[in-house]
Amino acid sequence: MRIDKLNQVVGSIFLIINLIWIIIFSRLFYLYHFTTKLWFFMYPDWLLILNIGIGIFGIVIGLKIIKSKQLSQTKTIIFEIALITIGLLFTLYM
């Protein structure tokens, strides 16, 4: 029973992090294309879409952790950290 609770907590944390990730980059995409603001620096569209895709993939992983008893927390935590790190590296250095 304890592993089920741990899966729910870890999955919920993943869902919240990735939902915030999607909201941030979706908002930027919207502001870049549908407002009349002038931007000094703009991320390319492919980078925004890549980060939104990473967030969607992270939400899928979070839902699988919540629903499945077979996924190990350590592997999924490492994978999620790798996804967020890749997204941050692309965002910071592109």
Residue labelled with tokens 């992090």: 17
Domain range summary for the chain, segments of one domain joined by +: 2-93
Select from 61, 60, 49, 57 the least CA-distant residue to 25: 49
Distance of CA 74 to the CA centre of its chain: 18
Q: In the chain, how long is the greatest CA-to-CA distance?
A: 54
For 8-26, how does the pLDDT look when each residue is reduced to its tens digit (9 = 90+)? 888 899 999 999 999 999 9
Count other Cβ atoms within 10 Å, centred on residue 80. 21
Quick: pLDDT tens for 24-43: 999 999 999 999 998 899 99
What is the pTM assigned to this prediction?
0.85
